[in-house]
A and B are shown apart, each in its own frame.
Chain A
Amino acid sequence: MHKKLILIISCLVFGIFTSSGQEYAVEKIDSLLLENAHAVIREYHTQVEIRSRNRVQKKITYVVTVLNERGSHFADLGVGYDSFRKVRNLKGTLYDKNGEKIRDMHRREFLDTQRYSDYALYSENRIIRATHNERTYPFTIQYEYTVNYSITAFLDFPWIPVDDMHLAAEQASFTFDTPDDFEFRHKAVHTDILPRVKPHGRNRKHHTWELTNIKAIPREDFMPSVFDLTPHIFFSPNAFTYGKYQGNMQSWKEIGQWINLLNDGKQDLNQQSIQKVQELTAGMSDTLDIIRAIYQYAQSHTRYVAILLGVGGYQPEPASSVAQMGYGECKALSNYTVALLNAAGIKAHYTLIQHGQQIVQIDPDFPSNYFNHVIVCVPLENDTIWLETTNQLLPMGFIGAGNMDRYALVVTDEGGVLTRTPPVVAEKNNVNQFLTAALNTNGIARISLRKEFNGISISNRILPSRSTNNNQIEFFRESAGLNQLFIEHIDYQLKGKLNPSITKEADFVLQNYSRTAGDRIIFRPLMLEASLTAPAQTQQRYNDFRLPSTVLYSDSVLWQLPGNYKPIQLPDNTNLETPFGIYRLHYQTHNDDNTLTLKRELKINGGLFRADAYHDFREFLREIQRADRNQVILREVN
Chain B
Amino acid sequence: MKSSAIFFFACILLAVFTSRSETPFDFGRVSDEEIDLEYYRAKYPGEPAVIIADIADSKFTFNNSSRRFQYIFNREIRLIILDELGLGYGDFPIYYYQGPNGSEEIQRLRGHIYNREGNRVRRTRINQRAGYTNDAGNNIKEFIIPFPEVRPGSIIELRYQIASDFLFNMRSWRFQWEIPVEHSEYVVNLPSFFNYMARFKGFFELDVNEQQPTIETFRYTQQIQNYGQKIDGQTYNLTTPSTRFRWVTKDLPGMKEEPFTDNIYNYLGHIYFEMVSEEFPDMEPKHYTTTWQDVSKHMMDRDEFGKYLQDAAMASRHFVPPGTFNSEIEAIRWALNEISSNITWDEDAARYADKTPSEVVNRGFGNSAEINLMLVALLRNLNLQAYPVVTSTVDNGELFSESPTISQWDYVVVQVRIPGKEPILLDATVHHPIPGYLPQRAINGRGRLIDPQLNEWVNLESNINQELTKKYNLRLDEMGNLNGELNYQYEGFGAYNLMQELAKNNDEDILKSFARKTGAAISNFNIEKSDTLNPKITVNADIFIPDYAQSLGNELIIPALLFETLEDNPFTAPDRLYPITFPHTGTNRIIFEIELPENMKVSHLPDSKKSAWGRFSYEYIFEKENNKLILQATNQNTTRIVNASRYNSFRSFMERMINDNADNILLEVR
A contact set with B: CB distance below 8 Å = 69-70, 113, 121-122, 133-136, 300-301, 303, 305, 324-327, 392-393, 463, 466-471, 474, 477-478, 481, 483-484, 512, 515, 517-518, 520, 522, 533-537, 568-571, 618, 622, 625-626, 629-633
Contacts and interface: CB of A to CB of B under 8 A. Distances in A.
A121 B132 contact: yes
27 contacts: A133-B363, A133-B364, A135-B364, A300-B151, A303-B151, A325-B148, A326-B149, A468-B83, A469-B45, A477-B572, A478-B572, A481-B567, A483-B569, A483-B655, A517-B606, A517-B663, A517-B665, A534-B516, A536-B515, A537-B515, A568-B552, A569-B552, A569-B555, A618-B519, A625-B519, A631-B557, A633-B557
A468 B41 contact: yes
Nearest to A518: B604
User: How large, as a class, is the contact surface on chain B?
Assistant: 35 or more
Given A534-B516, A568-B553, 19 more contacts: A69-B504, A135-B344, A135-B365, A303-B87, A303-B150, A325-B148, A392-B84, A468-B83, A470-B45, A481-B568, A522-B666, A533-B516, A535-B516, A569-B555, A622-B547, A626-B547, A630-B550, A631-B664, A633-B557
A466 B84 contact: yes
A65 to B, nearest CB: 18
A300 B663 CA distance: 51
B604 A520 contact: yes
Contacts of A477: 572
Contacts of B658: 483
9 tightest Cβ-Cβ pairs between the two chains A and B: A326-B149, A470-B46, A135-B344, A569-B553, A517-B604, A536-B515, A133-B365, A325-B148, A470-B45
A149 to B, nearest CB: 26
A324 B130 CA distance: 13
Q: Among A133, A305, A326, A484, which residue has the most Cβ atoms of chain B within 10 A? A: A326
B148 A326 contact: yes
A569 B572 CA distance: 36
A477 B555 CA distance: 34
B100 to A, nearest CB: 14
A517 B666 contact: yes
Interface of B: 41, 45-46, 83-84, 87, 90-91, 130, 132, 135, 144, 146, 148-151, 344, 346, 363-365, 503-505, 512, 515-517, 519-522, 547, 550, 552-553, 555, 557, 567-569, 572, 603-604, 606, 655, 658-659, 662-666
A518 B603 contact: yes
Contacts of B557: 522, 631, 633
A121 B146 contact: yes
Contacts of A324: 148
A359 to B, nearest CB: 26
Contacts of A630: 550
Contact of A393 (B84, B505, B663): B84
A537 B520 contact: yes
A633 B146 contact: no
A569 to B, nearest CB: 4
A474 B606 CA distance: 34
A454 to B, nearest CB: 23
Nearest to B131: A122
B663 A326 contact: no
A301 B149 contact: yes
A630 B558 CA distance: 10
Contact of B46 (A133, A471, A569): A471
Contact of A515 (B87, B148, B512, B664): B664
A121 B363 CA distance: 35
Contacts of B135: 113
B486 to A, nearest CB: 15
Contacts of B568: 481, 483
A122 B129 CA distance: 12
Contacts of A517: 603-604, 606, 663-666
B150 A326 contact: yes
B44 to A, nearest CB: 10
A512 B664 CA distance: 13
A113 B134 CA distance: 10
Q: Among B149, B519, B569, which residue has the most Cβ atoms of chain A within 10 A? A: B519
Contacts of A393: 84
A252 B665 CA distance: 66
B84 A301 contact: no
B523 to A, nearest CB: 9
A480 to B, nearest CB: 11
Nearest to A481: B568
Contact of B555 (A466, A518, A633): A633
B519 A537 contact: yes
Contacts of B41: 468
Contacts of B132: 121-122
Nearest to A466: B84
B83 to A, nearest CB: 7
A474 B149 contact: no
A536 B512 contact: yes
Contact of A571 (B344, B516, B552): B552
Contacts of A568: 552-553, 555
Contacts of A631: 550, 557, 664
Contacts of B151: 300-301, 303, 326
A631 B522 CA distance: 27
B531 to A, nearest CB: 18
Contacts of A70: 504-505
Contacts of A571: 550, 552
Contacts of A301: 149, 151
A439 B344 CA distance: 60
A302 to B, nearest CB: 8
A515 B663 contact: yes
Contacts of A520: 604, 666
Contacts of B515: 536-537
Q: Among B46, B87, B363, B655, which residue has the most Cβ atoms of chain A within 10 A? A: B46
